[in-house]
Amino acid sequence: MKELKKRIGSASGFTLIELLLVIVIIGILAGVLIAVIDPQAQQSKARDANVKATLNKVALATQGYVSAYGNSPNDVQFLAGLSASASSPNASCAAGGADYTCDFIVTGNQLPDTCGAVNGYTGSTAPGSGNTCLYRYVGTASSPNFTVYAKSFGAGTTVFRYMNNGTAAGQIQHCDTASPPANCVTP
């Protein structure tokens, strides 16, 4: 019994200094981990993946039209082919269908607020949409060739470009708007 009392009386725990030291070390490790992960960059990568997936869907729908009719759709046919998932906030996809250029918004997939110019794509902003960039379709009259553009969230000077012709046909390229003429690479 004496031995038990002696052990209980002499039992020691952590001191306040030791506990504070452990808390400080955990805080430092958490700060380093957050700096390494960079949540803003991770979020931008996720948004870019969503934009690329949308570009692929738009390109697939347009390629379906090209396969059926042998040429790229005009602006009205293009927008109609995307049905209710896309709309044009300006007059670029006019009801006349006279041209082959269409700036559009994809429902549920907004682009960033900062735009950049590359190969005829300025990223022009949507009226009344808080300067949100627009997707752009550019077809070629009496030809099956078309290009679709979208602005990247991650890199401030990058625009994504999908072309169905040329050496990069069927691939989404990253075009750097900071180096005119735009330097486009396939990642």
Closest CA to 163 of 155, 173, 178, 152: 173
pLDDT tens digits along 51-74: 999 999 999 999 999 999 999 999
* pLDDT at site 181: 59
For the stretch 62-119, pLDDT in tens is: 999 999 999 999 988 898 888 778 888 777 777 666 788 888 888 888 888 777 666 6
83: left (phi over 0), alpha (psi -120 to 50) or beta: left
Average pLDDT over residues 6-12: 57
Contact at 8 Å (CB) between 168 and 148? no
Query: What's the whole-number mean pLDDT along residues 120-146?
Result: 76
Cis bond leading into 181, ω under 30°?
Answer: yes
Q: In terms of residues, how long is the chain?
A: 187
The arrangement of strands across the sheet holding 183-185 comes to 86-87, 101-106, 135-139, 146-151, 158-163, 171-176, 183-185
pLDDT in tens, 10-44: 556 888 999 999 999 999 999 888 878 888 888 88
